Amino acid sequence: MNKLADKLTVMLLCAAAFTFLDGPVVPVVGLIVSVIVTSFVWLTEGTVFAAAAVAASAVCCIFFPVILCASPIILYDALGEKKPWLAAPLLPAMTGITELEPHQIVIVFVSLTVTVIYRRRVSLLEKSVENLSSLRDEVEEKNLLLNEKNLSLADAQDNEIYLATLRERNRIAREIHDNVGHMLTRSLLQAGALTVINKDEKLKAPLDDLKETLNTAMTSIRESVHDLHDESVDLDAAVRESIRSVGDRFKVTYDNDTEGELPAKLRLCFLAVIKEGISNAVKHSDGDRIDITIRQHPAFYQLTVEDNGSCGEIIPERSGGIGLQNMRDRAASLGGMISITSSQNGFRIFMTVPQGPSGPSADGGRGVPLHPTPPQAT
């Protein structure tokens, strides 16, 4: 709107200059042609047609001095196109300005001065708008970055709370195991001893009931401790802790693309296999890289642990090593399969565990116990 108002003001000044021309036809025709040309430039602003119209108008001023009455609007359009050289023909055309009346010359020069002032003001305004837009974009970008950092901070805080919860679960499990579990075990042994030495038939049934109650309590405590311990394991945190312990010797990459939380027994199994793979690399590998990958497919989970060290000895598929056998037992306990191979290109552990009814989540993630259950006292 400011540009349009400025242009109308300049056009009115040009009209004032045209009104002092002799005869009724020339002023009207000159004014109409000026309005048509400047309107065309307005509609085609920024195109080659607008530039051509401005240049042609300026050239016409050389041959028809009366058109100098429209020189302010020509200059305004040339500056509006950001091509002031389009108005260059106005300089030689000014030699013919003496054909105009003195008051017309005054109006033309005043109009030219107003035109330059208006265009300068518009340029400053456009620059301010551009700076404001740039500042707004910068603020928006910083707000987005701030929101991302706030989200990252919130995630980190949630993760710290989660890890603290897991550590507390683990502590409670240890306390129960070390204190209550041991006391129940001692009570079971004492009840069993009393049953053996008891000679009173009246006490036999109560002692059997007591032993059964203690056995039930021991089983319940054991399951609770196992559940607390299993749920207290954060796979990613535990794997990264193992990676940090060998970071000075190996470049370790860890990629886990599973969705959601893995079943507890599967987490423990994968963690044990990963630790065993890292331990084997530390003991036997002469390489400098370990790659750990966990993938979740529609029907099964997949774990790969491999290093780039050369092995002088090929490990048999059914090697009797304790660590390798433990990995096979863990895979079998979850209904999975494991392949352990070594070659001149490195050592590789490839394990798959099915999802669904036959997988680790079939019984709520508990699976087949990985640790033998202590025998009950008799």
Q: Cα-flanking dihedrals φ and ψ of residue 338, to 5°?
A: -140, 140
Q: The tokens of 4 are what? A: 């349009």
Four-point Cα dihedral 280, 282, 283, 288, nearest 10 = 100
Strand order from edge to edge, sheet including 337-343: 251-256, 289-296, 300-307, 346-354, 337-343
Nearest to 177 by CA among 212, 218, 214: 218
DSSP single-letter state for residue 177: I
Amino acid (one-letter) located at 291:
D
Residues comprising the chain, all counted: 378
Nearest to 67 by CA among 102, 108, 106: 108
pLDDT greater than 60 at residue 350:
yes
Mean pLDDT of 132-142: 90
CB atoms within 10 A of CB 320: 7
Contact (Cβ atoms closer than 8 angstroms) between residue 65 and residue 100: yes
**Per-residue pLDDT, 363:** 46
The model's confidence at residue 330, banded by pLDDT at 50, 70 and 90, is confident
pLDDT in tens, 27-74: 677 677 777 877 787 777 778 887 788 788 778 777 777 777 777 777
Residue tagged 């370990």 (tokens): 290
CA angle (217 as vertex; 215, 219 as ends), nearest 5: 70
Between 227 and 235, the more confident residue is 235
pTM of the model: 0.43
**Per-residue pLDDT, 226:** 67
**Per-residue pLDDT, 358:** 55
In the chain, the percentage of residues whose pLDDT exceeds 70 is: 81
pLDDT greater than 50 at residue 225:
yes
Identify the helix (H) or strand (E) that includes residue 4.
Answer: helix 2-18
d(CA 342, CA 315): 6
**Per-residue pLDDT, 375:** 36
Nearest to 293 by CA among 250, 337, 348, 340: 348
Bridge partner list, 338? 351
**Per-residue pLDDT, 368:** 35
pLDDT greater than 70 at residue 347:
yes
Amino acid (one-letter) located at 136:
R
d(CA 271, CA 282): 16
Identify the helix (H) or strand (E) that includes residue 254.
Answer: strand 251-256
CB atoms within 10 A of CB 179: 10
SS3 243: helix
DSSP single-letter state for residue 334: T
DSSP single-letter state for residue 358: G
Q: Sign of the C-alpha dihedral, residues 144, 145, 146, 148?
A: positive
pLDDT in tens, 177-218: 777 777 878 888 888 888 888 877 888 888 888 878 888 887
Identify the helix (H) or strand (E) that includes residue 310.
Answer: none
Q: Cα-flanking dihedrals φ and ψ of residue 353, to 5°?
A: -130, 125
d(CA 31, CA 23): 13
Give the rounded distance of the alpha carbon of 356 from its chain centre: 31
Residue tagged 């207290």 (tokens): 232
pLDDT in tens, 315-328: 544 455 677 888 88
CA angle (177 as vertex; 171, 180 as ends), nearest 5: 115
Contact (Cβ atoms closer than 8 angstroms) between residue 81 and residue 54: yes
